[in-house]
Amino acid sequence: MAIDEVISMRNITKSYKIKKNKERFLALDAVSLSIKRGEIFGLLGSNGAGKTTFIKIMAGLLAANGGSGSVLGYDIYRQHQTIRSLVSLVAPTADIGTDNNLTVRQNLEFWAVVYDLEKSQRQERINEMLDFLNLRQYEQYWPMSISAGNRQKLAIARSLLVNNPILFLDEPTVKLDEAGAEAVRDLVKKINQEFGTTVILTTHYLFEAEQLCQRVAIMHQGKILSCDTVENLRHNLQKYDELSVNCKNVKIPTLKMLQSLPYVISSQHSESGLNIQTQDLRGHFIEILKLLRQQGVSISGLSTNEPTLQDIFVETLASGEAL
């Protein structure tokens, strides 16, 4: 395992027996993955892609049938109990592990004992989590009397009591309304930035992965089809940003100048104007417009098209091959 890696998985396989016959369902098919310290990493895929099975193996909760792997330097087979003590996992629904006969604070007090926090530190840590997650006003409420989003925050607060270096979030915003989901997404960023926690989340919301994750792995039928930054995935699939410019007076030297820019993939001229394919359009948009104005190009309109993770996801699944 490299120094900056906290998780290293190699050719992980997992199959389950199918009831009433002797066949087995292959949930993971030779999956390999490395995750760096301090990143937010997304496992992206539709239901049944293998995301939850994979994080349970990484969290030490489920044994793989084959392959090798380590988490924080500990072997997933021989030291899975140690792994479980050093990572936190929040299930798809916040109600798992939450006792509705206890108040929000009492739930945290219960789990502080379960996690064997030092008695002298428990109340201070609970207060810190209540404030950090904006739950202080609900500390004396029964969990079922607060919103689903706040119950999800309670589940995350519970997992953060021990300040583990790795946090697994399995579909953290599923069944939440938009306000609750946005609050949880903001919280994920905050946990990563303020605590330096490595976050691995599963999601089938494409925009969520694009908004949160430094890198994403696209999973389908138990395999990882591609794994990289969104920007690199765009490049690999030749999904570039496009700028369409309604303009006149475009001369050949101007086209050549555009094509000489290192971030411009192509520039084409037609009767309606220019179509420019480029990397990182947001970072170079003003620079391109300044160049056109300096060349005397008369601009009457602009439009942009930035490929999304959904474009990448759909095309990756359509190809059916690892990138």
Q: Where are the domains of the chain?
A: 5-234, 240-306
Q: What architecture does CATH give domain 5-234? A: 3-Layer(aba) Sandwich (3.40)
Task: Determine the pLDDT at residue 25.
Answer: 86
Residue 145 gets which letter from DSSP?
A: G
Q: What integer pLDDT is reported at residue 323 of this predicted model?
A: 44
Q: With contact defined as beta carbons under 8 Å apart, do 155 and 90 qualify?
A: yes
Whole-prediction pTM: 0.73
Give the integer Cα–Cα distance in Å for 289 and 139: 54
**Overall CATH class of domain 240-306:** alpha beta
Residue 199 has a pLDDT of: 95
Residue 46, token pair as written in the block: 């539709």
Per-position pLDDT tens, the chain of length 323? 666 899 999 999 999 887 776 778 889 999 999 999 999 999 988 888 899 999 999 999 999 999 999 999 999 999 999 999 899 988 766 567 788 899 999 999 999 998 888 888 899 999 998 998 889 999 999 999 998 888 888 988 888 888 899 999 988 887 778 888 888 888 899 899 998 999 999 887 777 888 899 999 988 889 998 888 877 776 665 567 788 888 877 888 888 888 888 888 888 888 888 888 887 777 788 888 888 888 888 888 888 776 666 667 776 666 665 54
Strand-pair category, 40-44 with 198-203: parallel
